[in-house]
Structure 1
Amino acid sequence: MNSTDKSPVKPNQCLSYRAAGHAQSLLQQLCMLHSEKTFCDATIIVGSQIFTAHCVVLSACSQYFKVMFCGGLLESLSKQVELHGVEAAVFDKLLEFIYTGEIDITSENVQDLLSAADMLQIPEIIQACCNFLRSHLHPSNCLGIYKFASARSCIELCAACDVYTHMHFLQVIQHDEFIELEYTELLALLSSEKLRIENELQVFKAGLKWILHDATQRKKCLVQILDRVRFPIISCEELFDYIETHCTNLNIKVALGALLAEYNPKRRFRKSSNRPPTYKMKPRLSARKYLYVIGGYNREPGGCWSNNQTLESVDRLDSFNRVWNSKPKLNHPRSSHTVETLDGVIYAIGGEDDLLLYDSVEAFDPLEEKWVMKSPMTVPRSGHCSCVFEGAIYVFGGCIGTEIGQTIEYYCPKRQKWRESGKMLSPRTSFGLIESEGLVYLFGGMTAVGAELRTAESYNPITKETASLADMRSRRIGCSAVVIDDNIFVVGGSNARKGALNTVEQYSIINEKWTTLPCMSTARTGARTATVNGLLYVVGGRTVNRGFGSAVTFLDTVECYDPRTQCWTNLDKMSVARCEAAIAVL
C-alpha cells in the first residue's frame, strides 16, 4: 500500500485488548528474577539469615515495606531492613507467597503466619489464615483462637469465635480453655443472652466448675458469678441437689447455702422480699426454644382427597411465651417429609406434592431467614423418617417411587453428599423414629404388603446391626416418637380397627418395657411431636374414624404433656391446620 492509498481502517477506531495471562506471566518472570537474584535491591535480615528481594515488589504487597522504602525513613536509603519478632522460616514462606501467590497453611504454622502477616500488613495472608482457623473451630480451641484473633484485631474471626462459643457452650465448658478463662472473660460469657443452653441450671454448673478449679483464689468471685445466673427460673430442688452432690469444697458449699438461702426448698420461709430484675425471670434469648412446624397438607371440610392442598408455609411457636408467628416459606410445598436440625440449620428432606415424590433437600438458616437448596438424596422418598447421628443426617425407609423402601442413607454437611448405609429389618413407611444414646429406634408403620405394624426395632449406625424390641400394645400407622431422658414416647397414629388413636405408649430403654400413658384430648394420626425442656408437644394431624366415608377433620390444635404431672394442656392453635407436616426445635 503506497502513500496515496487510503487507510482501510476508519478513523477514531479503538480496540481494548487484555492479555488473559499477562498478570500471571509477569509474576512468574518476577519470581524468576528473584530466584536468580537479578535486580534485587532490598536486603531483609531475619535473625541470622539474609533475604534479598525487589523493593517495588515488597512495597506492592506489604504496607509495612511500602512505608519503609517510600516513607523517607532510613531504610528508604539503605534498602536494608532488620525484622524482629518473625522467624526466618516463616518469613521465607511469606516471601515465597509474595512472588508466587501460593502458600501452604497448616495447623502448625497458621498462628506464626498470621502474626507475621499482621505485622507486615499482608491482607491476603491474614484473610487466608483467619479462614483456616474459622474452619477448624472446635469446643476445645474456640476460646484460645478468640484471644489470639482479638490481640491482632481480626474482627471477623473474633465474631466467628464468639458465635461458635455461644452455640457450643455446653461442649466448650468441658475443656481446659474454659476453666482457664480470666475472671472478666467468664463474667462476660455468663452474662450473655446468646448462650445456647437447655436450662439455666447449666449456667450455674459452669460457673461453679470454674470456681472449684481453684477454689482458694476464686472463692472471692463467687458473689459476682452468682449474680450472672437467673435463679428464679431454676428448679430449687435440682439446684440444691446439685450443690449437695457436686460441690466438693466445704467452704464454697456453706457460702452457697447462705447466698442462695431464699431458694432452699428445705426452708419453710425462703422467699426474699426483693423482687428480681425482670430479665432474671425469663430464659436467655438463645435458651428460648422455638418449634418450627413446616409444610404438611390439609383440605377444606367436606372435601375429598383430590382437594388436598400441600403447604409451603412455616409456623413458629415461642415455647416460652407460647405465641405463634409465620416464618419464610419453603421453596417447594411438602408433606410426608422430615426435618432435622444440624449446627443451627433446619433441613427439610424429601416428601411429596400432589403425588410427586421429592429427592430434593432445602435448608433454613434462622440468621439469614431464607431457604436454600441442598444436595438431593439418592432416591425420592415420602413417608420416611430421619434423625441426626454424629454430625450426619440419616434417612430411613418410606415410599420410594411405587415401592415401600427398606434402605437407609445418610448426608454429611461437610461433604454435601448422600450415601447409602444399610437396611432396616423390613420395609416400612409412615412409622415413628427417634435416636437416643447412639441407637436409632423405629416403631410401627406399614409394610410393603399393607400390613399395620406394632413392632419395634433398633438400628446401630456404626455397626449397621438391627435388633427387634418388644412389640407395642397397638398397631400404629402415622405415629410420631420422641425421647425424654430414658423413655421413648410413641404418640397417636391410626389403624383399621380403631381409626385415629389418642393413646400414648412409653418405652423404657432401661427396662425394655412398654407402659400406657394418659390419652390426648384428641385422636390424631399424621401429627408431629417434639420435646422442649422436658415437655412433649403434639402438633396438628387429622382425625380418622372407623368406617367407609367417615368424615376427616384436619387439626390446627396443639397439646402439651408434662411427664412429671402426667397431665395434658391445650395450647393456642396454629395459623392453619396441618397433617403430615414436620417439626424442628431451635
Structure 2
Amino acid sequence: MDRPAVKVFHYKDKEQSSNLLLQLNRLRQDNILTDVSLSSDYVEIPCHRNVLASSSPYFKAMFCHNFKERQQTKIELKGVASTILSSIVDYVYTGLISISIDIVLPLMQAASMLQYGRLFEACSSFLQEQLSPDNCLSMIRLSEILNCNSLRDKAKEMAMKSFSDVSVSEDLCELSLPELMGYLEDDGLCAEEEQVFETLVFWIHHDPLSRRGAISDLFKKVRLRHIHPTYLFQFIANDPLIQSSSLCTELIESVRRLMFSVSSKCIGDTDFKPLWVAPRRYSYHDIMVVVGGRKNSEQTSREALVFDEKSKKWEFLTKLPIRLYKASYVALHSVLYVIGGLTTETKYSQASTSVYTLSLKTNQWRTVEPMLEPRFAHQSVSYLHFIFVLGGLGPDSRLTGSVERYNSMFNQWEAMAPMPEAVLYPAVAATNQRIYVFGGQDAMQNPVRIIQVYHIARNMWSKMENRTVKNVSAPAAIVDDKIYIIGGYTRRMIAYDTKANKFIKCANLKERRMHHSATVLNNNIYVAGGRHINGHDVIEDLDNFDCYDPKTDTWTSKGTLPYKLFDHGSLTLTHVSQTWAKS
C-alpha cells in the first residue's frame, strides 16, 4: 500500500524579529551581556558588538577584521556628539529616531560616517521637505559637502522649476561663474529668456569689478530668438553692460539685421548661427486658446478658453473687454491679438480699429496702437515680428483689398500693397517670406478659385488661377512646409506643398464644415467648433473638437468645447509654466 503523503507546515513568526530586537534593547538598557561601550564627550553607551556589527558595515569591519578596536571594550568616536550617538544607538536597537531641523545635519554626518545608509537617506528626505526657492541653492551646496545625491537632485529640480524666485535670492549672487552658466544654458530651466537676461545682470552687479568681464560669455546663454523684440531692442540693447561689450552689441545687431531683412535665411555670420537656432527650453510648452466668436447661436462671445493638451481640460481666461463680431485673431511672441471687428454693444454697430492683446503671463487684456482702417470679417497672420491684416469689410460694409502691417517692435501700423483681388473668408497662411491667400468669395458671394501670394520682403503680390481651390470660410494651418486648407462648405481637406508647388489630398472631415478654427499644437492640427450642413441641408452650430495627425493622415475626436461656437479664433501660445494667471 502507498504511504500517505507527509504534510509540511511552513511557519513564519512575524513578530520574532521585532521581539528579538526589543529584548536586545532591554538587555542593553540593563547593561546585560554588553561587551563594548561607545564613548563620546565622556559619555559611555554600552552596546553589544554583534548588534553593532550586524547593523553597519562600519562596525562590522571594526569588530570582524584585524583592527585594534576588535580587542577593546571601549571605543571612542571622535566628531560625533554624545546626544547624536545616543540617538543612533537607540535607532539601531529600535528602528525609531526623531529628526528635527536642529539635529539633522550632525545626525546626517554621523550616519554617513558610521555607514547607516537608510538613516542618511531619512535625513535627506527630511531636508527635501524643507526645500523652498529661498534655500534650494544653499541645499545644493550642502548636498555636495555631504555627498548626498538625492538631496542635490531634488534641490536642483526646485532651482530649475522655481528659477524666477531663485533668480532674485541672495544665494544666487554667491554662485560661481561656471555654476551660473550651468543653469543658464540648461534646456530644462523654467524661465523666460527675459528673466535669464535679468538674472545675469543681477549676478554681475553683485560684484561688478570682478564679474563685468563675464558679460559676453553669459549673454551667449540668452536665447535671443525667443525674446520679444521690443524688450530686446529697447531694453537689452540700451543696457550699459551690453553696450560695454562689442560682442554683445554685435549679437544684437545680427538679430536686428535678421528682423529687418524679413528673411529667416539671413542669419548672418557663423558665430551667430548656433545662438539663433538654439531651441526653446523644455519648460516651455504650447497651449491652445479659443477666443471670441458667436456662442450657442446667440450674441457674440467675450469668452477666452484655454486648453492644455496634457490635462485635456478647458479653463476660462479673462473675458474680452467688449464684444467684437467677426474680429480677427492672431498670436505673436506668445501674445494673443484680437484685431478690429464690428462693435455690437452700441445702438449702431460700427467697424473698429481697436487691437486688444492678452498674455497668459498676466491674464489681462491691454490695447496697443489701433489699425489705420476700421474693418471686420478680415484675416490676420503673423510673420517674424509683424502682423499682417488683409481685406475684410470696411465701415460701409464694402469689400476691401487693403493690407496693413503692424510692427511689434515699434507698435506702429503702416499700409502695404493691396491684394490683387479683394476676397472674403479666404484661407490664409504665412511661411518662407510669403503670405498665401487661398480662395474665398467675391462681393457677390461667388467662390473665387485663385491663389494670391504676397512676397513680404518685396511688398509685392502675384496671383494665379487654380481649379483645386474652392474653399470659403475655411482656416489654414502649417505643418512641415505644407499648408493645410481644412473644409469650407465641404468635407475636403487638401495640403499645399510650398516647395513642390502642388496640392495633396488628405483624409476628409466627418462633415461639411465652415466658420471653424484651426491651430497647430505639437505638430498636430486641432479644429474647433464651426458650423456644418446636416443631411437635411440645414446649417447647425458645432461644439466639436477634433485632431488631425499629418503623419498618419487620420482624424480623432478630442471631446467637445464647453459650448457651440463659430467665427472664433484658435491660436497656439507658448507658456513657460504649467499654470497661467487666474482672473
2:245 to 233, 250, 256: 256
List alignment gaps of at least 5 residues for structure 1: 1-8, 295-336, 350-384, 387-432, 435-440, 444-455, 457-469, 496-502, 559-570
Q: Give, in angstroms, the shift of residue 168 of structure 1.
A: 2.5
Residue in 1 aligned with 2:111? 117
Matches within 5 A, 1:171-320: 171-199=165-193, 201-231=194-224, 234=227, 237-243=230-236, 252=241, 254-256=243-245, 259-264=248-253, 274-276=269-271, 279-284=274-279, 286-287=281-282, 289-291=284-286
Q: Secondary structure at the match of 2:530?
A: strand
* Root-mean-square deviation (Å): 5.1
1:237, 1:265 within 8 Å by CA — same for their partners in 2?
no
Change (3 A) 1:545 1:204: same
Q: Give, in angstroms, the shift of residue 195 of structure 1.
A: 1.6
Q: Secondary structure at the match of 2:134?
A: coil
CA distance in 2, matches of 1:48, 1:339: 66
Q: Secondary structure at the match of 1:540?
A: strand
Confirm whether residue 540 of structure 1 aligns to residue 535 of structure 2: no
Confirm whether residue 105 of structure 1 aligns to residue 81 of structure 2: no
Change (3 A) 1:262 1:527: closer
CA distance in 2, matches of 1:531, 1:491: 26
Confirm whether residue 549 of structure 1 aligns to residue 545 of structure 2: no
Change (3 A) 1:490 1:525: farther
Structure 2 residue identity aligned to 1:347: S
Q: Secondary structure at the match of 1:106?
A: coil
CA distance in 1, matches of 2:98, 2:21: 18
Change (3 A) 1:481 1:56: farther
Deviates more, 1:515-524 or 1:68-77: 515-524
Residue in 1 aligned with 2:555? 576
CA distance in 2, matches of 1:41, 1:546: 92
CA distance in 1, matches of 2:25, 2:14: 19
Structure 2 residue identity aligned to 1:241: Q
The TM-score with structure 2 as length reference comes to 0.54
2:172, 2:203 within 8 Å by CA — same for their partners in 1?
yes
Change (3 A) 1:504 1:59: farther
Residue in 1 aligned with 2:323? 472
CA distance in 1, matches of 2:35, 2:109: 26
Residue in 2 aligned with 1:438? none
Q: Give, in angstroms, the shift of residue 117 of structure 1.
A: 0.9
Q: What is the percentage of aligned positions where both structures have the same residue?
A: 19
2:216, 2:245 within 8 Å by CA — same for their partners in 1?
no
Confirm whether residue 164 of structure 1 aligns to residue 158 of structure 2: yes
CA distance in 2, matches of 1:285, 1:512: 28
Residue in 2 aligned with 1:437? none
Change (3 A) 1:574 1:256: farther
Q: Give, in angstroms, the shift of residue 95 of structure 1.
A: 1.8
1:317-356 CA deviation, whole Å, 9 max, x = no partner? xxxxxxxxxxxxxxxxxxxx98669xxxx4345xxxxxxx
Residue in 2 aligned with 1:64? 58
Matches within 5 A, 1:319-468: 346-348=310-312, 386=315, 433-434=316-317, 441=318, 443=319
1:557, 1:572 within 8 Å by CA — same for their partners in 2?
no
1:34, 1:40 within 8 Å by CA — same for their partners in 2?
yes
CA distance in 2, matches of 1:18, 1:232: 67
CA distance in 1, matches of 2:201, 2:367: 36
CA distance in 1, matches of 2:89, 2:26: 13
Change (3 A) 1:484 1:12: same
1:282-318 CA deviation, whole Å, 9 max, x = no partner? 3445347443779xxxxxxxxxxxxxxxxxxxxxxxx
2:286, 2:521 within 8 Å by CA — same for their partners in 1?
no
Q: Give, in angstroms, the shift of residue 504 of structure 1.
A: 11
Q: Give, in angstroms, the shift of residue 473 of structure 1.
A: 4.9
1:73 to 67, 74, 82: 67
2:519, 2:527 within 8 Å by CA — same for their partners in 1?
no
Q: Give, in angstroms, the shift of residue 217 of structure 1.
A: 1.9
1:85 to 79, 88, 99: 79
CA distance in 2, matches of 1:24, 1:256: 69
1:460-491 CA deviation, whole Å, 9 max, x = no partner? xxxxxxxxxx6635699xxx999999989699
CA distance in 2, matches of 1:273, 1:506: 35
Q: Secondary structure at the match of 1:202?
A: helix
Structure 2 residue identity aligned to 1:255: S
1:533-558 CA deviation, whole Å, 9 max, x = no partner? xxxx9942132269982266867689
Q: Give, in angstroms, the shift of residue 142 of structure 1.
A: 2.1
CA distance in 2, matches of 1:234, 1:130: 38
The TM-score with structure 1 as length reference comes to 0.53
CA distance in 2, matches of 1:168, 1:263: 28
Change (3 A) 1:14 1:510: closer
Q: Secondary structure at the match of 2:45?
A: strand
Residue in 2 aligned with 1:36? 30
Q: Give, in angstroms, the shift of residue 150 of structure 1.
A: 2.8
Answer with 1 or 2: which has the greater Rg.
2
Q: Secondary structure at the match of 2:555?
A: coil
Residue in 1 aligned with 2:483? none
2:122 to 128, 134, 154: 128
2:324, 2:340 within 8 Å by CA — same for their partners in 1?
no
CA distance in 1, matches of 2:224, 2:109: 43
Change (3 A) 1:170 1:287: farther
Deviates more, 1:113-122 or 1:12-21: 12-21
Equivalences, count? 387
1:495-534 CA deviation, whole Å, 9 max, x = no partner? 9xxxxxxx99948857799x998657658889698999xx
Change (3 A) 1:121 1:288: closer
Q: Give, in angstroms, the shift of residue 17 of structure 1.
A: 1.0
Point out which structure has higher relative CO (alpha carbons under 8 A, 6+ apart).
Answer: 2
CA distance in 2, matches of 1:67, 1:42: 15
CA distance in 1, matches of 2:44, 2:357: 73
Change (3 A) 1:142 1:340: farther
CA distance in 1, matches of 2:41, 2:556: 74
Q: Give, in angstroms, the shift of residue 234 of structure 1.
A: 4.3
Change (3 A) 1:268 1:488: closer
Residue in 1 aligned with 2:294? none
1:549-572 CA deviation, whole Å, 9 max, x = no partner? 2266867689xxxxxxxxxxxx99
CA distance in 1, matches of 2:268, 2:307: 47
CA distance in 2, matches of 1:34, 1:340: 60
Q: Give, in angstroms, the shift of residue 276 of structure 1.
A: 2.8
Deviates more, 1:270-279 or 1:12-21: 270-279
Structure 1 residue identity aligned to 2:202: K
1:190, 1:203 within 8 Å by CA — same for their partners in 2?
yes
Change (3 A) 1:552 1:474: closer
Q: Give, in angstroms, the shift of residue 268 of structure 1.
A: 8.5
List alignment gaps of at least 5 residues for structure 2: 261-265, 290-304, 345-352, 359-363, 381-426, 428-472, 475-513, 562-571, 579-583
